[in-house]
Chains A and B, each alone.
Chain A
Amino acid sequence: MSGTCSVSGAREACLGSRVLCVGAGGIGCELLKTLVLSGFSNITVIDMDTIEVSNLNRQFLFRRRHVGQSKAKVAREASLRINPKAKIVAHHANIKEDQFDVDFFKSFDCVLNGLDNLEARRHVNRMALAASVPLVESGTAGYRGQVTVHIKGETECFECQPKPIPKKYPVCTIRNTPDKPIHCIVWAKDLLFPRLFGGEAVGAEAEREDEGKNGGEDEGKDRSDIEVSERAEGQPAVEYGCVVLREVYGDAIARLAAVEDMWKDREPPTPLSSDVIAAGRAIVQGRARGGDDKVPTSASLALGLSDSHATWSAEQSAAVFLMAVEILLDGHADRVGKLGFDKEFPLSVDFVTAASNLRSHCYGIEPKSSFDVKGMAGNIIHAIATTNAIISGLIVLEAQKLLLRGLRQDDDGATLTPWTTFVQHNPTGGRLLQRIKPLPPNPKCYVCSKAQVVMEANTGLMTLGRLVDDVLRKALAFAEPTVTVGSTMHYECGDDLEEDERERYDALRKRSLGDLPGDPIGHGSLVQVEDFSQEMSVELLVCHREPREGEDPDFFEVKGEVKGQDGGRGGEDEPEGEGDSDSDDLCVVEEAVGEKRKGAGQEEPAKRQRAS
């Protein structure tokens, strides 16, 4: 027992152990530093991202000269400078790749997550369960953070509790009846920007309410039905921009406003006046031009609008719109047709800010600054170094306890109890770090408790393709599902399929569940779903029902502790604010910026929401 609860005991636990760090971002950088300082000498780190400027405020292993390089590899080099004796293997790769299979996970004593998205978290959770390796999960958002320990059979797994559903917006609201700034931002980002500068318009946040109803035949269809003329040969970009403004904000809005039925309960939009467009054009033409031939990196800066926290007038928005169109079409001609919104690409932020604010202007919605639009369009999760540092310390403490448990079977266990710990900005009950015991496994969890999952759907309409893509892959997070009913295998995937098998499954994907050959899927069917890459299987009980009034005809509803992806239902009443961050962090709970210090005795209410 000597040394168990001590510095020497903890160091002893680190020596010779093998740990896997998933993520080398905000938490990952801090974690690697704390691990090598603590004596961990056998570390594998995996991260698929490259370093960006906006990482440098907290990912302290990186410098400006590293921008564009692999996070995992640069973090490895920097960590080795702290402890040259450590053995660190870095993979610039996606944790979901085949090379990181169950055997790979089995080669570690402990898995430490510093991830930034739900999908990867769910995958690592399953791999750790399959490999029977304990997982220390973590997340931060601004001042708040959380560390949790998942031990197979002893504590709940990452998926035992429902997770927040990412916000989506109905396409009809986005296209026709916006009433919030976010609706205009999603329209500008997901519909107009790709229409002008990208390939297919693929709305990440606009709900697919009118798709997938025809046997999957609409898959890949361009959903941006914004009517815009093509740019004429030799037409100056600014002139073309003016045409777009007239067509999109003038003509289209006027047509929409004329649909009287639509505006019985709300104010119709007002078309953008030609004066605003002319004023915007005059600002662009009157701008001071630089002496060099360099392509401006920002449309707003080129027009002297340097305060990213200011909101632009309609005329200024029109000018930024035209300026961004000119720079993108002429200065980035080789990328036009392939561009997507990128929060780190100032021109796309400028364009989306201007385009959304002009739409807001038409609909009488308050405009937003480019700083705000960047945050909303980019789903940016707030992040600071201090919280990441605290979280990294807590992860290592939990890892050391896990390793000590393996070394010290005779320990009374009290001092090695794993904790779920919450980091708070202001003391709650005097506590800045609040700990609770992790919950036991949830018997209803289909991931770790093999509970049956119930799916309600219209089996006459739902196709096998939708079942595989939207239910199994998205809602239930399977990576490579096989679908079997009775003795009939309806679907499997993988690189090793023969060509004729692939063709057969592609054909079956388009058929409705009730129309599948052999053992069709109908009311009461038990579907066996297996994923060999995750060593996981689930029994899916299908309940056929007709859609309720007002419900999407191709609805589906998955029942059980399975939320975490859109389960076929989206809408206005879902909570806002969730989204993947650029790096490492996940949403725990929002806290207002600029809150003044509270007086003595004023306690902040405990907000113990679960990370992600």
Chain B
Amino acid sequence: MASPTDRHREGLTREEEELLDRQIRVWGVDTQCAIRDSVVSVVVLGDDLSFLGRTKAEIDATLRDMNPRCNLIVEVEEVAEGNQKPSERVLAAELIKNLTLAGIGNLRVSLVSDVSRLQCERSDVAIVFGTNLRETCEATELVAAKASTVLCSTVRGGCGYAFLRRHERGEARAGGVPLQTALLDVPAEDLPRRVNKMYGVLRAALAFERSEKAGGRAPGAADLDAVAELSQSEISLERHRPPLDLLRNYLETQAEMPAVSAVVGGSLAQEVIKAISGKGELMDNFYFFSAYGSPDSGEAKVELIRPKEARAT
């Protein structure tokens, strides 16, 4: 991918400048041109984009109304009656809204329920949203083959996270480990001394999804004891284990707390713009935020978590 500054010399029209004046003053014309010329792919493992709409027609109309200049593709997989996902994907809607307002020039939004049917196209940045961690890991690896920067993210209840995987010309960079590796294959001695408690929640939840008992499903409120047990066995050091209140909040519902989605969605959009523009320090590789339930709730923390051997590459 050519650097944004090499590619974007056309400048902006007066109309674009008038419309985007306040943000051009923040990040400059070169970044605005890079945003306009970028290709971003958003994959949502779900079937409802909350305030942006439920159907392909609704979502398409809302986004075109918001930014008529965007080359927009919306794909919504037909879901059989009774198979719909239960919750609105507020976080995905937040990110898509933020990117559309920012002036992304080429945006593909795909709502799918079955990862195996996911069609990936080449893009500068791809973002995957899924409640089920196992499916999210799978989808992220699929899109990683076609995008330089891949992010995945979820909000469940009042708990949110985002994960970044970045490549340069098809090769994994330092830190470019898959989500599954970052969650399950990092020994305790390789973890930061004080890791955000959300990490333990995600690790236990993914371990649960991969367990025989779960059969691949994401844990719910009824699985609190099982997930709490896994947090003990999967995480060897007490200081890395999540408080029960935080686990409870994560498991209580698959619905998102919209305020948390607004926080994570805004941060995530900013990371996409950093990736496109090459300006700013990208989150590497985890971003955690929770509203309640833990001593570190209320602060958004970026933590680099990977096996020690991955750091040497």
Contact = CB atoms under 8 A, between A and B. Distances in A.
Contacts of B24: 371
Nearest to A383: B22
B128 interface: no
Contacts of B11: 307
Interface string A378-416: 001111111111101110110010000000000000010
Contacts of A68: none
Shortest beta-carbon contacts, A-B, top 10: A393-B262, A389-B266, A5-B292, A390-B266, A433-B300, A37-B258, A393-B263, A396-B259, A426-B281, A383-B22
A8 B19 CA distance: 40
A21 B190 CA distance: 46
A593 B97 CA distance: 23
Interface of B: 11, 14, 17-31, 50-51, 65-66, 90, 94, 97-98, 101-103, 157-158, 245, 248-249, 252-253, 255, 257-267, 269-270, 273-274, 278-283, 287, 289, 291-293, 297-303
A419 interface: yes
Contact of B97 (A56, A60, A400, A430): A60
Given A5-B292, A60-B101, A594-B30, A435 B298 contact: yes
Contacts of A30: 262
Interface stretch (A157-165, A182-190, A235-243, A595-603): A595-603
B278 A386 contact: no
Interface string A276-302: 000000000000000000000010010
A427 B302 contact: yes
A392 B158 CA distance: 15
Given A7-B157, A393-B259, A597-B274, A380 B22 contact: yes
A598 B284 CA distance: 13
A34 B258 contact: yes
A4 B183 CA distance: 29
A37 B90 contact: yes
Contact of B279 (A371, A392, A595): A595
Given A371-B24, A389-B263, 6 more contacts: A38-B259, A384-B22, A415-B292, A425-B280, A435-B298, A597-B279
B20 A397 contact: no
A231 B266 CA distance: 54
Given A375-B25, A386-B266, A430 B303 contact: yes
A583 to B, nearest CB: 8
A393 B18 contact: no
B62 to A, nearest CB: 10
A169 interface: no
A63 B101 CA distance: 11
A301 B14 contact: yes
19 contacts: A7-B255, A8-B253, A10-B158, A143-B26, A308-B14, A382-B23, A385-B98, A386-B267, A389-B265, A393-B264, A394-B263, A427-B283, A430-B302, A583-B22, A593-B25, A595-B280, A596-B278, A597-B278, A598-B281
A431 B158 CA distance: 18
B260 A427 contact: no
Contact of A419 (B248, B279, B298): B298
A493 interface: no
Contact of A38 (B18, B66, B257, B293): B257
Contacts of B291: 10, 397
B22 A58 contact: yes
A204 interface: no
Given A33-B51, A58-B22, A397-B291, A7 B300 contact: no
A143 B270 contact: yes
Contacts of A609: none
Given A384-B26, A427-B281, A593-B26, A393 B97 contact: no
Given A8-B252, A57-B20, A426 B280 contact: yes
Contacts of A386: 98, 102, 266-267, 269-270, 273
B281 A53 contact: no
A54 B18 contact: yes
Nearest to B88: A37
A30 B24 CA distance: 20
Interface in A237-286: none
A6 B158 contact: yes
Given A5-B292, A7-B252, A389-B94, A383 B26 contact: yes
Contacts of A597: 274, 278-282
Contact of A387 (B31, B249, B266, B298): B266
B26 A56 contact: no
Contacts of B25: 142, 375, 380, 382, 593
Given A6-B292, A308-B14, A432-B283, A34 B299 contact: no
Contacts of A375: 25
B28 A594 contact: yes
A382 B299 CA distance: 24
